[in-house]
């Protein structure tokens, strides 16, 4: 294992950077792609915040999911690939196809490059959005046998993640040529932010700390990003992970108001602005008429999004931190990095 090289796509991403930290810690050499090498210094700064001085064990290469250039060179000599990059919405998407095509094509580019470079296995960072969306209400938690129902109410981003993961499994079956695939499907990813460019899910905690007026009736499972990275490494090398999907969820789901109450209880003055008022569904629907950013949460109001991470524990020995630890690590990192307007 020691000194094998791993390609991590999308090195500017939150999960990708924690995967890089875990790989360096485990003794691997890492190559990571960036759409623009101008972000190299930012990535290195974030890795330093995470406790790593990679030196010559980390290298950067320019590659964009929307073009073929660079992918063959990126994958060359890599034993494994962790594919966490996903096309970033530019704001110009007017059709669903503008989301779906880049996500599907991007996955296929990376898989082709990995196959041609004779990598052993690709670990795909998929999403809970490929599992738990568009379904009628149910009594059991979501698990890896579920796929989002694209005939239901599914946002374009979640549709793109579903179709991109399906296309990846189809590619392996049809033309994988011995390349192995495993997928990790994280629920809401929390944990320590490394810098000001953090993931969408961390905004959930930031908005509460910044004093949003209350809590919509939104339900979610959470998982610490360090445990998501650990699961990627297990899925990369464990023989039992070949051809499998793994939901990353730490315990049962929580309502947003429960998260707000935990912050109040544990953070003291740091949570002075956190509101534990529950906002009624009609109010959110009304706000969504004027605020496009809120439209996406309307289909999720009152929906139980419970999911099970038992498969990863059973098959791979995965032991995630508690939900509470993931939530508090997020809040404490945002305060430590000066990224929220909380009283000191």
Q: Which of 120, 161, 206, 319 is catalytic?
A: 161
> What does the alpha-carbon distance between residue 100 and residue 111 come to, in Å, rounded to a whole number?
17
Closest CA to 127 of 253, 248, 285: 248
Q: Which helix (H) or strand (E) holds 110?
A: helix 97-116
Neighbour-count burial of 3, counting CB atoms closer than 10 A to its CB (0-12 exposed, 13-18 middle, 19+ buried): exposed
Closest by CA position to 80, among listed 34, 50, 124? 124
Cα angle vertex 145, ends 139, 150, to 5°? 85
Neighbours of 140 (CB within 10 A): 8
**Paired strand residues for 294:** none
Q: Which residues neighbour 49 within 8 Å (Cβ) at sequence distance 6 or greater?
A: 194, 195, 337
Tokens of residue 133, six digits: 């969306």
| Gap between the Cα atoms of 328 and 336, Å rounded | 12
The secondary structure of residue 142, as a DSSP letter, is: B
Q: Catalytic: 273?
A: no
Tokens of 334: 């945002």
Element (H, E) at 113: helix 97-116
DSSP 215-236: B-S-EE-EEEHHHHHHHHHHHH
| CA atoms lying within 13 Å on the CB side of residue 335 | 19
Q: Are the CB atoms for 298 and 176 separated by under 8 Å?
A: no
Concatenating the DSSP letter of every residue in 319-332 gives: -PPPHHHHHHHHHH
Q: Look up residue 278 and give its DSSP letter.
A: B
Q: Is 184 helix (H, G, I), strand (E, B) or coil?
A: strand
User: Catalytic residue numbers?
Assistant: 161
């Amino acid at each position: 294992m020691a000194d094998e090289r791993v390609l991590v796509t999308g090195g500017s991403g939150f999960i990708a950077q924690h995967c890089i930290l875990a790989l360096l810690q485990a003794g691997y050499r890492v190559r990571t792609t960036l759409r623009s090498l101008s972000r190299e210094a930012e990535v290195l700064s974030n890795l330093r915040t995470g406790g790593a001085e990679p030196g010559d064990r980390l290298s950067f290469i320019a590659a964009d999911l929307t073009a073929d250039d660079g992918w063959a060179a990126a994958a060359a000599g890599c034993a494994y690939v962790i594919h966490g990059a996903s096309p970033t919405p530019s704001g110009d998407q007017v059709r669903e196809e503008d989301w779906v095509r880049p996500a599907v094509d991007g996955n296929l580019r990376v898989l082709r490059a990995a196959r041609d470079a004779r990598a052993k296995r690709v670990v795909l960072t998929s999403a809970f959005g490929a599992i738990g969306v568009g379904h009628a209400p149910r009594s059991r938690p979501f698990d890896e046998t579920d796929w989002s129902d694209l005939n239901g109410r599914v946002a374009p981003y979640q549709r793109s993640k579903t179709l991109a993961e399906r296309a990846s499994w189809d590619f392996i079956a049809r033309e994988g040529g011995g390349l192995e695939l495993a997928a990790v499907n994280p629920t809401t990813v929390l944990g320590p932010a490394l810098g000001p460019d953090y993931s969408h899910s961390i905004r959930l905690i930031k908005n509460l700390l910044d004093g949003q007026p209350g809590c919509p009736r939104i339900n979610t499972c959470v998982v610490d990003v360090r445990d998501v990275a650990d699961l990627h490494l297990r899925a990369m090398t464990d023989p039992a992970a070949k051809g499998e999907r793994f939901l990353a969820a730490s315990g049962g789901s929580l309502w947003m108001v429960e998260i707000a109450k935990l912050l109040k209880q544990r953070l003291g003055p740091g949570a002075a602005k956190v509101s534990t008022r529950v906002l009624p569904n009609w109010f959110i629907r009304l706000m969504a008429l004027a605020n496009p950013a809120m439209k996406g949460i309307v289909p999720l109001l009152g929906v139980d999004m419970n999911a099970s991470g038992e498969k990863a524990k059973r098959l791979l020995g995965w032991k995630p931190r508690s939900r509470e630890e993931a939530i508090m690590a997020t809040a404490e990192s945002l305060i430590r990095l000066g990224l929220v307007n909380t009283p000191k």
